[in-house]
Amino acid sequence: MTQEIGIHGGIILNSSVPQGIYGFTVSNGKFTQVFTDEFAFKKYVERKGLKTFNLGSRCLTPGLVDSHTLASLYGRFNGLPNAAGMESGLMPMLLKKAVEAGPSNNGWIQIKNWSASTQPLTKADLDAMEATRPMAVLSASLHGAVLNSEGLKKIFADGADKVKDHIDQTTGMVKAKAFEWWLHMYRPAPATYADAILAYEDELLSYGVTTAHDLLVQHPEQLEAYRRLAQDDKLRLRWRLYVTDVALMKDAKAMEAAGVPIMGMKVFIDGAYGMRTAAQDREHAYPDGSTGMLLMTPQEVLNAARQVYEHGCRHLAAHCIGFMACHTYIEAAKLVRESIFTNDIKLRAQHFETANERMMHECHKYGIHLSMNAHFSDDALTYKDIIPVPEHINPLSLASTRLGDKVVLGSDSMAMRGMLGEAKYAIYPPLPHQKLGDNLNQILPNMTRNAAKLTNEAKLYGTISPGLAADFTIFDKMPRNAADFDSMQVLQVWRDGKQVYSQPQAAAAANG
């Protein structure tokens, strides 16, 4: 957009000020003027002769930032039958429909978004539905799946012996390294990474996102897909990438030149299958005495930070679920800050779902940013019989108090309704200590400005401010309660002053 226009009215929320604003103007992809009162806005647009749009009863915010997505992975599952929200009694019907639909283009009959806590399933259940073709029911967290007998036969015929320690042949459960092997071996539809990214962009845009961080770039083909899509001007979102293999960082300069920069690397401190197998310490062991899966030592994390630095990147993200996982990353952060080679590395912890006040204090001390997932607050209730200290699950209130703008929200590509679901849980959590704010305006910085700061881009986007990228989202209403978050619709999404999404069924989001 080169011609300056004005947008006003409705409810305009901004990440940079506590109160809303009346209107703003946009030109050449940037916010040009911001007004807090009607008189000043009207005087400016009349003097300039600008075309204006009235939001009416609608709500407008800066474009949302999803700081935790697994885009290339989740995009492959868009066409699969969806088990999310299904009661256990309805699972047989859903399984039957999946069997009738037949295999995906990877040869497997599949269902996604299964929840083990509400929909118990075993190999025997799947065998009763499908006995001749391989079948997989994938967990909502994409940390595991249940296979039928034919599925188990297939994976062992295809070389799963090397990950057999993570396969329960009695229940059909495949998790951790075995599930990663399964995903890499049988890539579900879409068939290409480019298709997966574009399919997932559609979903993210429908929930108001303009910038997204892909935290699971594992293969060269993924980087190449992002590069080509950017080169062909097909990407509608602003992407920031984190690789899981140090060898992929050699392409950092080329990816930055293409406009899809590699920020750094993501490591896995634990191999948790959600809260069931989080990396705990002895004090917080599970009822059976187990302590989950710890995959890295502080020294190994420091070595990863050095590799990031040597490749010219400056971000190290870590998957941390469980007291021991969080403690390990904090100990690693101390080593990172003491090293002359890595002390300026930006440290970010993903999840940090089990943390106490001491850990939050140390995060502040060592400059750790937290990318948390509000929808995991349910774990405090779902797993209350096995989690040692449920009151420590997702302490968002404590995190915000101790770390301020170093706390951001991300969907982990699992929250129902994406960042809108995250917002709902951040305001209306199961337990009081999980509350991040009282309304959308209070938590908005955690989904916009803070995330831009995380990647050192707060001077580029994240707020409605003159000179910043004109990223904004128009909703059909201002959410006033939990039900509103379930029903509110994204009407339009603009990035860099250009409309990149419009709800197909909606009328124009603004009236002239």
Q: What is residue 257's predicted lDDT score, i.e. its pLDDT?
A: 96
Dist. CA 147–CA 151, nearest whole Å: 5
Q: Which helix (H) or strand (E) holds 435?
A: none
Average pLDDT over residues 37-65: 96
What is the tens place of the pLDDT at every residue in 435-485?
Answer: 999 999 999 999 999 999 999 999 999 999 999 999 999 999 999 999 999
Average pLDDT over residues 36-40: 93
* Per-residue H/E/C for 39-93: HHHHHHHHHHCCEEEECCCCEEEECEEEEEECHHHHHHHCCCCECCCCCHHHHHH
Q: Which helix (H) or strand (E) holds 420?
A: helix 418-427
Average pLDDT over residues 46-50: 96
Range from 55-59, 135-139, 316-320, 443-447 carrying the lowest mean pLDDT = 135-139
Between vectors from CA 469 to CA 468 and to CA 474, what angle results, nearest 5°?
Answer: 115
Average pLDDT over residues 193-210: 92
What is the tens place of the pLDDT at every residue in 255-308?
Answer: 999 999 999 999 999 987 678 778 999 888 988 888 988 999 999 999 999 999
Q: What is residue 83's predicted lDDT score, i.e. its pLDDT?
A: 47
Domains and CATH numbers, the chain: 1-62+461-512 (2.30.40.10), 79-185 (3.10.310.70), 193-460 (3.20.20.140)
Range from 58-62, 66-70, 135-139, 187-191 carrying the lowest mean pLDDT = 187-191
Using the predicted structure, report yes or no on whether residue 504 has a pLDDT greater than 90: no
Dist. CA 31–CA 494, nearest whole Å: 12
Which spans in 311-393 are helix H?
A: 323-338, 357-366, 379-382
Largest CA distance in the chain: 75
Question: What's the pTM?
Answer: 0.86
Q: What is residue 507's predicted lDDT score, i.e. its pLDDT?
A: 43
Q: What is residue 80's predicted lDDT score, i.e. its pLDDT?
A: 57
CB-based contact 271:281 (threshold 8 Å): no
Using the predicted structure, report yes or no on whether residue 90 has a pLDDT greater than 60: no
Using the predicted structure, report yes or no on whether residue 197 has a pLDDT greater than 80: yes
Using the predicted structure, report yes or no on whether residue 357 has a pLDDT greater than 80: yes
8-state DSSP, 3: S
